[in-house]
Structure 1
Amino acid sequence: MSSAEDRAPSASIGQREDLEAVPLGPANRWGLVPAWIVRSGAHGVSLLQAELLGKGDAFYAPQHSNGLCAEALRGLERDARRSEFGLWRANAPQVVFSTNAPKTFEGMSGHYVIARGRVVSLGKTRTTRYLNFGNYWKTDFTATLKVSDEEAFNATLAQTGWDVEALKGRVVELRGTLQEKDGPHIALHLPEQLVVLEPVPLN
């Protein structure tokens, strides 16, 4: 989820007997440690991240979850969206950005965002695969993934009948840290950052 990279267990958490931080890896260059926050109570043990997702107080980021855990967390976000809880309520500040309106991403560089739109064209170099969401790469939204990761993306996309090569003209939803790189840009490192929002066409 979007708050997966939290600071190392703070004093406030340490002083709360019902909360425990379980580190998921080493600190990053900012000194932030990814962690699960576990709550212990009269009704057993629960995951604070899951509670926040279910209430619509956070959104799912796949960097520190996989397999059944990832599916469960994404499902909690999906249910909160359908129920219009928290971040997803009708009058909430914008959470899902349109790739058709690059200027709406202004000021969001460095923030984790969700973007939705139609892939206009695909590009490829020796090392990088490009998903272009406009005709002018200097200002339009772009997503990239490493060519070396394309097989993994195709394996995940195949579960819903897609592959990277078939994404031209398709409506997709992306999530990741926004960068300003000749227009708004998201680098895709994990297949779970990319979801096709259309059914596979019938032959």
Structure 2
Amino acid sequence: MPAQRRWGDAHPAGRLVNAFIILLIFLNAISFAAETVEELDTRYAMEFQVFNLFSVAVFTIEYVLRVWSAVDIPMLSRLPPWRARLRFALRPIMLIDLLAFLPWYLHFMFPLDLRILRVFRLFRLLKLVRYSPVLQTLGRVLADEYRVLLGALLVILVLLLFASTAMYMLERGAQPDKFGSIPVAAW
């Protein structure tokens, strides 16, 4: 386990920082949902923007400090510092962390619809994987068993197609608005 991760779990200040980041992630999810309520978004637009700016600043600082301290990870310490940091930054969990705040910066460089940027804020929830052993285990299982899971998904889709076709054939005459086509019947 990386040195800074052990420190974060064992040291009281590290546990406090981790708890703060987890709380901030959950508050971001609540804020994201609340912003879709038009009355709340209109009334508290400035508060939402300030909270988002604060969150981006915290996530950016956390990311930069993690990348900077990558040279202390035993398996990366033998590499030149720039290479250790680059290798660490390219890890999937670090790319998720980057996606949690990078779109906020990109909207200053490229004319993007801000509603699209809100969707990218959902990546902040994926940061929870770093703090949850259960989610880390789930991620490993999904990676290890993706072929089996794809096979199960295929079976589910075939069963859905059969059931939708049957409902379409049996119910389209009685309820054409609900079963007017196979895709509508599937829905």
Which category describes the TM-score, using the shorter chain as reference length?
A: under 0.3
Larger Rg: 1 or 2? Answer: 2
Q: TM-score normalized by structure 2?
A: 0.23
More strand, by proportion:
1
Flag the structure with higher helix content: 2
User: Taking CA–CA contacts closer than 8 Å with sequence separation of 6 or more, which of the two structures ends up with the larger relative contact order?
Assistant: 2
The normalised TM-score by structure 1 is 0.21
